[in-house]
Structure 1
Amino acid sequence: MENLFSMAAFPSFLIISAVIAASAQQQRYSRIYLGSSLTPTTNSSWLSPSGLYAFGFYKLTNGYAVGVFIAGIPEKTVVWTANWDSPVFPSNVVLQLRYDGKLSLQQKDRSDIIIASASASASMLDTGNFVLYDSSQRITWQSFDNPTDTLLPGQHLSAGKEIFSSASATNPARGIFRLKMQTDGNLVQYPVNTEDKPNYSYYSSFTDGKGSNVSLNLDNNGLLYLFNGSSIILNLTTGQYRTKTIYLMRIDVDGIFRLYNRLLDHRGNWTKEWSSTEDKCIPKGLCGLNSFCNVTDRVSGCECLPGFDHVNPGDWSSGCERNFAMEGCKAKDQNVSYEIRSLDNTEWEDTNYADVKDMTREDCIKACLEDRNCGAALFLGTLSQYGSCKKQKLPLRYGRILQSDELRNGPRIALVKVSTSTTVSENSVKEIKNEPKRQILIIGISLVALAAVILAISWVYVHRNHARTYTISNNKNVELIEDVGLRAFTYAELVQATNEFKEELGRGASGAVYRGILSNNKIVVAVKRLEKELAGEKEFQTEMKVIGKTYHRNLVRLLGYCFEASKWLLVYEYMSNGSLADILFNPESRPCWEERIRISLDIARGILYLHEECETRIIHCDIKPQNILMDEHRCAKISDFGLAKLLMLDQTYTNTGIRGTRGYVAPEWNMNLPVTVKADVYSFGVVLLEIICCRKSVDRRLSENEAILQEWVYNCYAVGELNKLVGYEEVETQTLDRMIKIGLWCIQDEPSMRPSMKIVLLMLDGTFDIPVPPCPNSFQSSI
């Protein structure tokens, strides 16, 4: 069994015979008075009078948590946890029953966390209930009224209340399943972040209509039942009196709630007595988005849809993401096509946008392939060959393999669209058919070619070493060529390439960009002439090494540089469609909704690479539409990354020391707080809202209510008027809602509340559930 277990209450004459001696640093308390305190490493808990239960600190792998646990058995079993949303604390935390009557957790340089208040004393009872009293000895607060994942004998779950699973066997934080005692009398299980509706439930007592005051109860004999205030309306278990035995009911990490018993001796183990289901794939959401649950040899596991891989193989609930790129940002010679892969006998949540009746499986496959919006289709067959074809947009969720007795009415098949993209032309395909006839000839030619390549490489190596020896003697900066493959241009070369800097493509805070054509190979390039004072030669070379090693399809490629006295220039690949600002804020070239989503994904992938995937972490510091360039296929690529470290002075006209552009700067820049990658997340959030709404973040020509984009977006979101944000453009409502919520999470004032770019990408891709975002506290501070 998992080691985060709960304990049960039982008759006191059994407690005394079962209690094991507590450690020397723990003491038994019948009453705990104001001023009393605990620490994780000294006096760590307050024991109940018999020593069976304890309230205090218990050890986790990454710190300490506070809760109620069974201290009177060999393995410590947790039954209640304080501060459940953030339960882990360092060893220097202090738990104190303060003189002002508040039970609080105190850490140096942080605000106190109040667990409960209005008390004059406290007690850890032998029932497993931790209680606070006022000066008249009346109970003002008790752990029994605030259950986390467990019910003990004598405890109940009242109408309207719910308990949650833990995040994992070693993490007591709130998990992904909930058990709710509804006010209609029905006891129901749901995944978290869902409404109390039948289509989300995966267990029900079917007792709705039995009254508004029904509660779930557990007694000392292990009887688990529903009680309406006057009589028992449903027994979930039979109950059985056993001597020296304790019971507890818990909603486990896997989403199933179970009743356990244990003998109170050293030989005892927790034994399952009853469970809400024996099918471990029943809990919805166990496997995350785009994955399905399958039981093999009584062990449940999660498998991905065809064409998908696990986001985090160690965490099934994180779901799966595509292992292929969708349309957009494709090479000129790439043929993008799709095929259908089938998953037989599977069930998924049905969120179809089209339900076509009386179709064969083959017709359903064809219909999905011909529909660009169709990511998958659910074919619900009948005993004949015809059935219902339900077209779905990804992600799919709540997937599981069906049992044989669930297929009596016909097959249930998921038809998933996957990419068969290839860079082979049609003529090449025809040639491949004749491949067996030419194998011997090709092998011979290959051997000759290999020998020629080896000779050529040897000659080039010798030649480059001679050339490098000569060049370094004349130019000390060319050492970067060897390290990163960048070309060192002379200033004269770039003057000639740009026709004396005649055609200006754009101008930013750090300098102007010019179109150029390299004389040796006629390649079109963009030459940026830096006009700001730089950090120095050594810093410049170091940064060139970092930038030169970065390569990602959503980053503008740096081809070379020039560094001669005060003339510092950077040579980039040419982006024929200008910047995102050029197309986004121009009504004539404004991208459609689907393209705006693809652009958002491109930008997110580029920032994620800078933050987590390149050799040296790079904080861009100036994410904005002007620094996002568009290639000939309108694939978005981030430019100017790495310049933040090169520029000594501020990049814009904001306060000295602040890097970034007005309207996109994270609040921490203005508060002299440490700047992390979360500053880029904030800027991305602003850009994302601009992409959604096709307007600038600050537009003083608009009314006061709409001038500041972030504020207007949140106000529209709060009142449910999202269509205003897209000018009543016809877009998919669910996708619009998801994009808006992502943007609002990214622009939270508190950096720790912003998601990482990895999470942002999962949100954009639909493989991560998004909670409702809070209102950012100050829109004005970032502009």
Structure 2
Amino acid sequence: MASHPSPIFLFLLACCLMCLCFARAQQDPGKIPVGSFIVASEQATNSRWLSPSGRFALGFYPVEAAFAVGVWFVTNTTIIWTADRDDDLYPAGTQLILTDEGLKISNPAGDRPICNISASAAKLDSASMLDSGDFIIRDINKDVMWQTFDYPTDTLMAGQVLRTDQRLVSSVSSDDHRSGRFEFVLEHDGELIFSPVNTPRTRAHTYWFLGTGDEGVNGIFLDFDGNLTPIFDRNATHNSTLNLPTQSFARMEPDGFLRIYSTTNNSTRQTGQFPPNVNDKCIVKGTCGANSICNSTYASGESSGKVNCVCLPGFVYADPSRTYMGCLRNFSMGQCAATNDSKIHYSIARLANVGWNDDPYNYTNAATEKDCSNSCLEDCNCYAVLYENQRCRKQRQPLLYPRWRADDQTVALLKVGYGEQPPPVEVKGVPSNKILLLSSTLASVLVMALAAGVFFLYTTREPSYQKQCRNMETVMAGGMAPRSFTYGQLADATGGFKNLIGTGGFSTVYKGEIRLAKPTRRKETEARFSIFKRKAKQDGQTDLQKDHGTDEVMHVAVKVLKKMNRGDEKRFRIEMRAAGRAHHRNIVRLLGFCHEGTNFILVYEYIPKGSLANLIFDPKKRPSWKERVDIALDVARGLHYLHEGCGSVIIHSDIKPQNVLIDEDGTAKITDLGLAKTLQPWESKAYTRPRGTVDYKAPEWKNKASEPVTSKVDVYSFGVLLLELVTCRTFFMEQALEGRYILSELAYKFLSESTLERLIPEGEMVDLEELKKMVVLALFCLQRAPDNRPAMKDVVRILGGKMSMSTQLPPNPSAC
């Protein structure tokens, strides 16, 4: 007879099972298994995943009539992280799915990942929304494979680390969480800086910095008391598991200040601010745009004041509805060169106690303020001049970061156009019998005057690129205008043009150093963070007390165009115009120029690792597979910007690995716009002579401009570059492989045979699905018909994983 378990045994077994379940619940709180999904809707329970305590949620939050994906405090809906913050919003009904490859958005417009985790040995298992505000995804071994704390937007949570070269970028406003105008960056050398976005990382554009450069700082940590603390251990990690009644976070605000808050379920209060001890919002460079004065008003005891952005004399708002966007000239400087007496067209407006980012192109001694004014009036290059101690500092525009400064004794003198029209001439009646004679006489005089005028303009005309040198700042008033250098300045910067770093058919490039004036440190920055505890120096000074002394040095690439005749000067003009208006992290920045006599020189930011060609075709320097994938996306983004982000289409016309430079952090930047073609705003194609390098040239380039070309010629060149980047082989191979000398034919053969792994360098481990995607994309870019090639916008979305693409065999580009 079978025995039955006793009631006591069953009771103990049940208790053990309950304890085991409780322990597992404690080990995996709020576990979200693969396959789970939420839906964009007004129903909160279906549109979010909660942390165990219910304090935080990840999911869809409403924005006007649509939705965005982010993380927020549940009690007060404060957003602390937004996915793809600058992309399109999602309609109601969109699904967010946790798949075995990461988080994926699914809606009728198409599927795309929010995070795509590369294939690894272990599969993904689950995700969790933690009570620290971090959303994490784990594999089956419980290792964290992805987390929102690694991708900060505008907020740093307690326990979160900001790594070197990471940044917090402000939102547009408290309700608009797209990327705004200011950033808080920990640079690769450990320096902590605040500056406007998309500006060079120099002191001239920094409105607050800590002075921690070269001190071994590898990260900034917000501790649980709300203090920012330096991290010197490169491997330090954040604590994402604590659930404290009071939570601290730091947020880069839309006004450019980093504010630290302490919040509970019932209230939120500010506990700190950087820059510290500042009420004047105008200390934040970029609060008002170029050529406008920032004026902040605040009463004693107020934490912040109101800001008024007022155009300097001679300027009008670029956008009257958004006065912070800066101002443009309200008259043309073109008249200046049309007469020997420019003073009849302009006057001088005087402003006291106003200063800006001083970057003079010329120094002149002047006994009086009037002498200084006349010196500017007689100089067509002069837009403004600063007068102090009998010395004039002439300025080009844009005039950056102007603000009222009561303690500044400098006098600003601005050139202003009269703007008045000459009085109308009184016309009296003419006897009818004299009309014919008078008309004949006037006609003869006009013909003679026209002929003399044409002759005068031809013999004394100023080259159009020189006018452009003067006026390009007006066109670029919303951005960063290149600076004018003298030949002597650039000779000094390059050590007599001796440090050669590159040469080409049209130019020679030298490395140089430009010294930037050291900024005056403000009293409030001398105090610094008391929480940054430093080791004392041997002489008794701390790092915060020590003056970092000498002027800042900026490394530059000085491109000297080879001696040119008058017809070839067009290349200089084209490159200066195209590069001068392109401001993007994947375009090499034009910093300045020089034209003296037959010397044509362009000054660019220095990119230390050199060209992509020097890396991918050298087995000893070859970037890893992941690095090559990132480079492909960088180049695509740069081209997309040239095609659609500059107001007019800019066709680069010579995309190739030699014209892609790699920065020290691995960022790829497009360079050499000397062959670029800039279309008019209403144009989408152009008839133009062939240009570019033969191996990368699209088939529609003809010997004569018999067919129009579009930006799709750059897409073709990118297809060649992409295949070379993937395979680390040249497009036209010196030795045949499988009987083929052309890389696209070889790629098509291996793709059709499902043997793509034979394309890549021997022994390299790659994601085969990613490889297939990139090869198929390259073959589509190489289609002979321009209309069959994708736009660079779609290339960016495909490479970035935001747009799906069929990986079936595309048409053979080599087929007739």
With the length of structure 2 as denominator, give the TM-score of the two structures.
Answer: 0.49
Correspondence for 2:309 among 279, 297, 302: 302
User: Any stretches of 5+ residues in structure 1 without a counterpart?
Assistant: 1-27, 233-241, 429-448, 450-520, 525-575, 605-689, 699-705, 738-743, 760-770
Deviation (angstroms), 1:64 = 2.1
**CA separation in 1, counterparts of 2:474 and 2:289?**
24
**CA separation in 2, counterparts of 1:719 and 1:63?**
37
Contact 2:39 2:95 in 1 (8 A): yes
Instruction: Give the structure 2 partner of residue 418 of structure 1.
Output: 416
Correspondence for 1:161 among 160, 166, 183: 166
**Pair 1:122–1:602, CA change in 2 (3 A):** closer
**Pair 1:218–1:719, CA change in 2 (3 A):** closer
Task: Give matches, 1:7-156, under 5 Å.
Answer: 30-41=30-41, 43-61=46-64, 63-71=66-74, 73=75, 75-86=76-87, 88-98=89-99, 100-110=100-110, 112-118=112-118, 119-156=124-161
Instruction: Give the structure 1 partner of residue 465 of structure 2.
Output: 593
Task: Give matches, 1:693-732, under 5 Å.
Answer: 694=570
**Pair 1:337–1:226, CA change in 2 (3 A):** same
Where 2:281 maps in the other structure, the secondary structure is: coil
Contact 2:396 2:473 in 1 (8 A): no
**CA separation in 2, counterparts of 1:351 and 1:723?**
12
Where 2:283 maps in the other structure, the secondary structure is: coil
Where 1:120 maps in the other structure, the secondary structure is: strand
Contact 2:592 2:604 in 1 (8 A): no
Instruction: Give the structure 2 partner of residue 753 of structure 1.
Output: 644
Instruction: Give the structure 1 partner of residue 321 of structure 2.
Output: 314
**Pair 1:589–1:320, CA change in 2 (3 A):** closer
**Pair 1:355–1:229, CA change in 2 (3 A):** same
Deviation (angstroms), 1:212 = 4.1
User: How high is the sequence identity, in percent, across the aligned residues?
Assistant: 30
Where 1:292 maps in the other structure, the secondary structure is: strand
Query: Over residues 114-151 of structure 1, what are the superposed CA-to-partner deviations in whole Å (9 max), with x where a residue is unaligned?
Result: 42425332111011001111121100111112211111
Deviation (angstroms), 1:773 = 6.8
Instruction: Give the structure 2 partner of residue 193 of structure 1.
Output: 198
Instruction: Give the structure 1 partner of residue 229 of structure 2.
Output: 225
Deviation (angstroms), 1:199 = 2.5
Amino acid at match of 1:375: Y
**CA separation in 2, counterparts of 1:422 and 1:736?**
42
Where 1:327 maps in the other structure, the secondary structure is: helix
Instruction: Give the structure 2 partner of residue 348 of structure 1.
Output: 356
Per mean C-alpha deviation after superposition, the further-off stretch among 61-70 and 124-133 is 61-70
Deviation (angstroms), 1:735 = 12
Contact 1:62 1:88 in 2 (8 A): no
Deviation (angstroms), 1:691 = 11
Where 1:778 maps in the other structure, the secondary structure is: helix
Instruction: Give the structure 1 partner of residue 393 of structure 2.
Output: 390
Deviation (angstroms), 1:174 = 1.7
Query: Over residues 360-416 of structure 1, what are the superposed CA-to-partner deviations in whole Å (9 max), with x where a residue is unaligned?
Result: 32222111111000011122x2xxxx2432111111112222243xx3xxx123221
**CA separation in 1, counterparts of 2:638 and 2:159?**
46
Instruction: Give the structure 2 partner of residue 561 of structure 1.
Output: none
Q: How many residues align?
A: 475
**Pair 1:347–1:722, CA change in 2 (3 A):** closer
Instruction: Give the structure 1 partner of residue 220 of structure 2.
Output: 216
**Pair 1:602–1:371, CA change in 2 (3 A):** closer
Per mean C-alpha deviation after superposition, the further-off stretch among 288-297 and 38-47 is 38-47
Deviation (angstroms), 1:110 = 4.3
**Pair 1:337–1:589, CA change in 2 (3 A):** closer
**Pair 1:245–1:720, CA change in 2 (3 A):** closer
**Pair 1:353–1:598, CA change in 2 (3 A):** closer
Correspondence for 2:374 among 343, 355, 366: 366
Task: Give matches, 1:426-437, under 5 Å.
Answer: none
**Pair 1:727–1:417, CA change in 2 (3 A):** closer
Task: Give matches, 1:622-633, under 5 Å.
Answer: none
Query: Over residues 42-92 of structure 1, what are the superposed CA-to-partner deviations in whole Å (9 max), with x where a residue is unaligned?
Result: 521111111110011112236322111111x1x310011111332633335
Contact 1:102 1:116 in 2 (8 A): yes
Deviation (angstroms), 1:166 = 1.4
**Pair 1:311–1:723, CA change in 2 (3 A):** closer
Query: Over residues 88-108 of structure 1, what are the superposed CA-to-partner deviations in whole Å (9 max), with x where a residue is unaligned?
Result: 33335432222x422122343
**Pair 1:356–1:104, CA change in 2 (3 A):** farther
Instruction: Give the structure 2 partner of residue 557 of structure 1.
Output: none
Deviation (angstroms), 1:160 = 3.1
**CA separation in 1, counterparts of 2:463 and 2:94?**
53
Deviation (angstroms), 1:40 = 1.8
Correspondence for 1:323 among 325, 330, 333: 330
**CA separation in 1, counterparts of 2:224 and 2:591?**
53
**Pair 1:287–1:50, CA change in 2 (3 A):** same
Query: Over residues 180-210 of structure 1, what are the superposed CA-to-partner deviations in whole Å (9 max), with x where a residue is unaligned?
Result: 2234333221222233322322112223343
**CA separation in 2, counterparts of 1:748 and 1:394?**
28
**CA separation in 1, counterparts of 2:361 and 2:317?**
26
**CA separation in 2, counterparts of 1:295 and 1:353?**
30
Contact 2:217 2:230 in 1 (8 A): no
Deviation (angstroms), 1:305 = 0.9
**Pair 1:162–1:694, CA change in 2 (3 A):** same
Instruction: Give the structure 2 partner of residue 276 of structure 1.
Output: 275
**Pair 1:156–1:598, CA change in 2 (3 A):** closer
**Pair 1:153–1:321, CA change in 2 (3 A):** same
**Pair 1:109–1:273, CA change in 2 (3 A):** closer
Instruction: Give the structure 1 partner of residue 260 of structure 2.
Output: 259
**CA separation in 1, counterparts of 2:712 and 2:461?**
35
Contact 1:335 1:422 in 2 (8 A): no
Amino acid at match of 1:38: I
**CA separation in 2, counterparts of 1:201 and 1:316?**
22
Contact 1:745 1:754 in 2 (8 A): no
**CA separation in 1, counterparts of 2:61 and 2:273?**
28
Where 2:149 maps in the other structure, the secondary structure is: helix
**Pair 1:724–1:322, CA change in 2 (3 A):** closer
Amino acid at match of 2:176: N
Amino acid at match of 2:282: C
Deviation (angstroms), 1:253 = 0.7
**CA separation in 1, counterparts of 2:61 and 2:210?**
35
**Pair 1:403–1:254, CA change in 2 (3 A):** farther
**Pair 1:52–1:757, CA change in 2 (3 A):** same
User: Any stretches of 5+ residues in structure 2 without a counterpart?
Assistant: 1-27, 119-123, 237-242, 299-304, 429-438, 443-448, 477-565, 607-634, 651-667, 674-710, 717-784, 788-816
Instruction: Give the structure 2 partner of residue 658 of structure 1.
Output: none
Instruction: Give the structure 1 partner of residue 546 of structure 2.
Output: none
Amino acid at match of 2:223: D
Contact 1:375 1:392 in 2 (8 A): yes
Task: Give matches, 1:452-463, under 5 Å.
Answer: none
**CA separation in 1, counterparts of 2:394 and 2:29?**
63
Query: Over residues 232-264 of structure 1, what are the superposed CA-to-partner deviations in whole Å (9 max), with x where a residue is unaligned?
Result: 9xxxxxxxxx99433211111111111112342
Amino acid at match of 1:389: C
Where 2:247 maps in the other structure, the secondary structure is: strand
Where 1:281 maps in the other structure, the secondary structure is: helix
